[in-house]
A and B are shown apart, each in its own frame.
Chain A
Amino acid sequence: METSLSSSLKAWQIAEKCKRDHNQIDPMINFFIDRNVRYKDVLNTHLYFDVQDIYQQVEKLKSQAYEHLPLAFVPVLIKDNICTENIPTTCASKILEDYRPPYSATVIERLKQAGAIIFGKLNCDEFAMGSSNENSAYGPVLNPWDKEYVPGGSSGGSAAAVSAGLCPIALGSDTGGSIRQPASYCGILGYKPSYGLVSRFGLIAFASSLDQIGPMTTDALDAALLSDVIMGHDPKDSTSLKSGSPSWFQTLKELKESEINLKGTTIGVVSEFFAAGIDSEVNACLQENIKKLSELGATIKNVSLKSLKNSISTYYVIATAEASANLARYDGIRFGFRADSHEGKKSLKEMYANTRTQGFGDEVKRRIFLGTYVLSSGYKDAYYTKATRMRQVIKDDFLAAFSAVDFLVGPTAPTTAFKLGEKNKDPVSMYLNDIYTIAVNLAGLPALSLPCGINSLGLPIGMQFIGKPGDDFQILKGAYVYEQATGWHEHHKPKL
């Protein structure tokens, strides 16, 4: 029945429906296939979509016992920097065009074990480097709310896909805000877990000590469900925390009416987040929402994070340094693009240089260059070594703030989405966009962005919750409470 099929269906509802009645499976899958086919080219969200592959997965799952699988038949779209065995994984780069990994990321294995259908791979900024999805070698992604605007980045494809209802849940990755900022620009929920909660095995690395995979969904319940599936220690990842898989979905679902509020919670408002640079509408919207949080029972406190002003430089030194090493493996020898194939006359050095120069886009080259610079002898102590100490200072600052509050609130980005081409001439101003999200990655904290308003141009505004290390559930619950109280996320969808 068409009316029961809706792009507003949550992942948990889809799983329930399909498990309860197997006749729902095909119509459900076909509904989402149609939706993907209809919008993916318009928005340029996809880098890979194969209907036959989808049907194969569905048929395989049908032949198994799936009654206990939490994500049975749920369509999930995956950012294209996460390895999927035998399926092209390009990181939106020319250097990995047609690259088909011989293995799948741990998160993909876990999704499959939970019954999810991997619906396709999503466009993003090249190697996750960017804040607008304009750095893709395969063209920019467009914001479903207004196609003249960027969806944000680097998980722009994931944010746009969920926002446009192409799938209920998607995976993104976040190194300096790449899940949260596009979630904010596209009006969805984007959650970056505490560092180490989700395995990075199979996530194509940008900055190893900052990267995390996380859920991009329409609400907190789905984020919780997805977390339950993908989280838990992975012995293949030395940075993976020793914890087991959570059961947050159940915990949220079982909350009593009387528990769905913020009573007893103290929320910190970071004064530095509301300093110069914030758009006035975003500011006004956030102030209103902080009031709302107070109405829901929270105690609001002002906090100051003095070292926050160093977060951009600290981040860019560390992130580019790690990236320059992580991207050294792209040399055209064992996989991927190689320049001068079949020419035979060029030397090895020429082959390396041509491959990397032709294969990488400008932003990637810029960051590799910067990272090489800050690590090179003569500069390392001045930049990299100092940045690692400053990072700890920033972390300690947050921990000190958390002694007085349960979590922090602020805007996710200083503005709403900007127009395509508006900012990509000047990389430095692009970097300044990350000011509210970056410090979180430096400190390894959990954080999420949830939609909380629309500006006069009809573009979404996002509110960010930042939690204590390992206290992810607190902010998910906070988001859930807000959603239940306001229903904001239900009533505001882009008109496609």
Chain B
Amino acid sequence: MAIEVEEVKRIAKLAHIKLNEDEITKFAKQTQQILEFFDELKTQSDSLDKNWRPDILGKSTLEREDIVIPPTPVEKTISLAPEKSGSAFQVPKIIE
């Protein structure tokens, strides 16, 4: 199953990764190879019930009490930031 260049570009954009011309070709080819594995998976699993949700078996998710745990001291948090202004993270202007 061949993967269109436009598709590769769309996916790369969703993932916010830049690909040059070479990489687009390479990724398209490699993805195609791997997906040929997957295509076998598609036909194998065609016999499986389409409504089967194996992910909802088991016990209920863990819960915790609604009790405050002291937050991280802000100096520690903001010291990790590549760019900051006061205690806020700073980013290039967001255009709505």
Interface residues of A (CB under 8 A from B): 99-100, 102, 235, 237-238, 240, 310, 312-314, 316-317, 324, 331-338, 341, 344, 346-354, 356-357, 360, 365-366, 368-370, 372-374, 376, 382-383, 386-393, 427-428, 431
Let me know if B40 is at the binding interface, CB within 8 A. Answer: yes
Q: A348, B45: Cβ atoms under 8 Å?
A: no
Let me know if B68 is at the binding interface, CB within 8 A. Answer: no
- CB interface residues, B 3-51, toward A, < 8 Å: 11-12, 14-18, 27, 30-31, 33-34, 37-38, 40-42, 44-45, 48-49
A387 to B94, CA, bound (A): 37
Q: A335, B81: Cβ atoms under 8 Å?
A: yes
A239 to B27, CA, bound (A): 34
A372 to B9, CA, bound (A): 12
Q: B17, A313: Cβ atoms under 8 Å?
A: no
23 A-B pairs with CB atoms under 8 Å apart are A313-B38, A334-B81, A335-B80, A347-B93, A348-B91, A353-B16, A356-B16, A357-B18, A369-B11, A369-B12, A372-B11, A374-B38, A382-B42, A383-B41, A386-B42, A386-B48, A387-B45, A389-B45, A389-B48, A389-B52, A427-B34, A428-B33, A428-B37
A248 to B58, CA, bound (A): 27
- CB interface residues, B 48-83, toward A, < 8 Å: 48-49, 52, 54-55, 61-62, 64, 72, 76-77, 80-83
Contacts of B52 in A (CB 8 A): 389, 392
Given A102-B80, A369-B27, A369-B31: A333 touches B89 (CB 8 Å cut-off): yes
A362 to chain B, nearest CB (A): 9
The listed residue (A314, A346, A368, A391) touching B15 by CB distance below 8 A is A368
Chain B residue at smallest Cβ distance from A387: B41
Contacts of B86 in A (CB 8 A): none
Q: B82, A390: Cβ atoms under 8 Å?
A: no
A79 to B26, CA, bound (A): 31
Q: A313, B92: Cβ atoms under 8 Å?
A: no
B95 to chain A, nearest CB (A): 8
Find the residue from B16, B31, B44, B93 having the highest chain A CB count within 10 A.
Answer: B16
Q: B17, A393: Cβ atoms under 8 Å?
A: no
Q: A324, B15: Cβ atoms under 8 Å?
A: yes
Q: B14, A376: Cβ atoms under 8 Å?
A: yes
Given A334-B89, A388-B54: A369 touches B83 (CB 8 Å cut-off): no
Chain B residue at smallest Cβ distance from A340: B92
Q: B93, A348: Cβ atoms under 8 Å?
A: yes
Inter-chain pairs besides A316-B34, A349-B16, A353-B16, 5 sampled, C-beta below 8 Å: A102-B80, A235-B62, A356-B16, A390-B45, A427-B34
Contacts of B81 in A (CB 8 A): 333-335
A457 to B62, CA, bound (A): 50
Count A-B contacts at CB 8 Å.
126
Q: B82, A337: Cβ atoms under 8 Å?
A: yes
Contacts of A337 in B (CB 8 A): 82
The listed residue (A338, A349, A391) touching B83 by CB distance below 8 A is A338
A307 to B93, CA, bound (A): 51
Q: B77, A368: Cβ atoms under 8 Å?
A: no
Contacts of B64 in A (CB 8 A): 235
A404 to chain B, nearest CB (A): 23
Q: A366, B33: Cβ atoms under 8 Å?
A: no
Q: A351, B92: Cβ atoms under 8 Å?
A: yes
Chain B residue at smallest Cβ distance from A375: B14
Q: A366, B30: Cβ atoms under 8 Å?
A: yes
A240 to B64, CA, bound (A): 14
Contacts of B12 in A (CB 8 A): 369
Given A353-B16, A369-B27: A346 touches B92 (CB 8 Å cut-off): yes
A344 to B83, CA, bound (A): 11
The 6 residue pairs across chains A and B that have the minimum distance between CB atoms: A392-B54, A338-B82, A335-B80, A313-B41, A313-B37, A386-B45
Contacts of B89 in A (CB 8 A): 333-334
Q: B11, A393: Cβ atoms under 8 Å?
A: no
Q: B27, A366: Cβ atoms under 8 Å?
A: yes
A382 to B62, CA, bound (A): 31
Given A347-B92, A348-B93: A310 touches B17 (CB 8 Å cut-off): no
Contacts of B54 in A (CB 8 A): 388-389, 391-392
Given A324-B15, A376-B11, A392-B54: A312 touches B37 (CB 8 Å cut-off): yes
Chain A residue at smallest Cβ distance from B44: A310
Contacts of A369 in B (CB 8 A): 11-12, 15, 17, 27, 31
Contacts of A351 in B (CB 8 A): 91-92
Q: A310, B62: Cβ atoms under 8 Å?
A: no
Given A373-B11, A382-B42: A388 touches B37 (CB 8 Å cut-off): no
Find the residue from A333, A347, A386, A388 having the highest chain B CB count within 10 A.
Answer: A386
Given A348-B91, A386-B48: A353 touches B31 (CB 8 Å cut-off): no
Q: A102, B41: Cβ atoms under 8 Å?
A: no
Chain B residue at smallest Cβ distance from A335: B80
B52 to chain A, nearest CB (A): 6
The listed residue (B18, B44, B94) touching A390 by CB distance below 8 A is B44
Find the residue from B14, B77, B89 having the highest chain A CB count within 10 A.
Answer: B14
A335 to B79, CA, bound (A): 9
A386 to chain B, nearest CB (A): 4
